[in-house]
Structure 1
């Protein structure tokens, strides 16, 4: 991979890179039986996609003290089926193009093992780093640490995610946010939080990033 030291793309895993929403709902339903919180019915799934993390916890009636236990259970459940997960959107083609000019990093609350298994399954070797096991509300801290530890400039970093919390994390970390519409949160739920860009196909990224580069060059 030819890496340009000035260009960084952080990509969320579940829902953004991996089409894991259906498996997540399946895992949630299994966890509901084990831990006795509210189930997500078929006719509630679309409503569910409009909720923030806090609204989801309230909807499920899941207390904060149970969140780590339930998260571990869901992760283990999904681990058994991670090899069957498809890539979301047209990532295979997009990543091949982006890897020529950008350093690509995965940041996720999922486990390193699950992510690596998925990457191996799809023969994706274009990521320089995997930042895994990030807490449900720990993405801002993880992004800031990435930037500090690697001496990156905030203006050169893009964060791509599929949830409201991804947009909020990017804003708090003072980097550009790109929201995808094919993941956990619906497009109508993402837009009010004002991501810098909203895309419905990964190929759109290439044009967006090229425009951002031209803008940065003019400002310099």
Structure 2
């Protein structure tokens, strides 16, 4: 069963603009300065943990901070739009017979609301509950629960932690450069491929499965 598993935030949904707004809204409470344009580019070029350090969030406050950011992002789901070209890519993959799934730390209700509201009802399963620092274990559980063979699954994500999760779960991984992490940073973690458009993503997936 040829299965394509997508990360949600940043890969399917364009969450970055709202993420920046959320981070800026929390800056006073957590004691860091407001993020400007160049700050966003710099944060995109470093690992997630390092990004939090750059903001000046202490390790003690980090779990609460992450929870607060996630809660605020989830509450803004109705304001977000799909990444440009992703609808056409998903439709193309579905027509070609691929099984499509989502792995996300977002809530099922939020994801379903977004998908239905934007005409992206193409997915065969949605697997929720991934930890921000433990995606590998959750991806392994997903593979097991869906009874997938590792060589038949590919994970699509926009962060270095998606690459590490796929390696831990022993599945193929394709990185997309239109999300949170920069192409240079993604390349440093050696995914199976990096693409800069949904159209190219479809071609690479087809090539991967021969």
- Classify the TM-score, shorter chain: over 0.9
Residue 50 of structure 2 corresponds to residue 59 of structure 1? no
Q: TM-score, normalised by structure 1?
A: 0.88
Give 1:78 shift. 2.4
Pair 1:68–1:114, CA change in 2 (3 A): farther
What secondary structure is seen at the aligned counterpart in 1 of 2:209? helix
Q: How many residues end up aligned between the 2 structures?
A: 209
> SS in structure 2 opposite 1:203?
helix
Q: What is the correspondence of 1:24-173 to structure 2 with a 5 Å cutoff?
A: 24-100=19-95, 101-173=97-169
> Are residues 37 and 110 of structure 1, via their aligned partners in 2, closer, same or farther at CA, if it must alter by over 3 Å?
farther
Please say if residues 129 and 138 of structure 2, whose CA atoms lie closer than 8 Å, have aligned partners that are also in contact.
no
CA deviations over 1:20-67 (Å, ceiling 9, x no partner): 111101111112223334543332111110011121122122234433
Q: CA deviation at 1:209?
A: 1.9
1:184 counterpart = 2:180: yes
TM-score relative to the length of structure 2: 0.92
**How many Å separate the matches in 2 of 1:142 and 1:11?**
13
- Give the distance between the partners of 2:59 and 2:142, measured in 1 at CA: 27
Structure 1 residue runs of 5 or longer lacking an equivalent are 1-5, 215-220
> Mean alpha-carbon deviation: is it higher for 65-74 or for 55-64?
65-74
Moved over 4 A (4+): none
Q: Look up the SS of the partner of 2:5 in the other structure.
A: strand
| Structure 1, 106-115 or 18-27: larger mean CA deviation | 106-115
Unaligned runs of 5+ in 2: none
Is this contact kept in 1: 2:4–2:154, CA < 8 A? yes
RMSD (CA atoms): 1.6
Q: Match for residue 206 of structure 2?
A: 210
